Amino acid sequence: PYEPFHQFIHNTPDLPKVAITSEVHVPNVACVEPHFDAFVDRALDHLRARGRKRVAFLTVPELTDHQHAYIREAVRKRDMQMHRYW
């Protein structure tokens, strides 16, 4: 499934590339990882500013207990609602 991506990477050696992820396994591709807490805060602030009160987070299994707790607390601080089953 990643073949077009790898072809693009190898066929454009002069084009600078950056991956938004915690690690990258492709030579000559820089890696940028966003700060988790700041990302959650900005996303929730954006939704709250637009009048949203109910939110859902789709997460990966690798999320830590701290990250799950941070999401729940950030939602609570903004007087928003989130249910695990949404």
Query: Rounded to an integer, what distance in angstroms lies between the CA atom of residue 81 and that of residue 53?
Result: 6
Query: What pLDDT, in 10s, does the model give residues 47-58?
Result: 999 999 999 988
Spell out the residues 6+ positions from residue 17 whose beta carbon is closer than 8 angstroms to its own.
9, 28, 29, 30
**Mean pLDDT of the chain, nearest integer:** 86
Spell out the residues 6+ positions from residue 12 whose beta carbon is closer than 8 angstroms to its own.
none
Query: Rounded to an integer, what distance in angstroms lies between the CA atom of residue 86 and that of residue 82?
Result: 7
Listed residue (81, 77, 76) closest to 52, CA to CA? 81
The pTM of the full predicted model, rounded to 2 decimals, is: 0.68
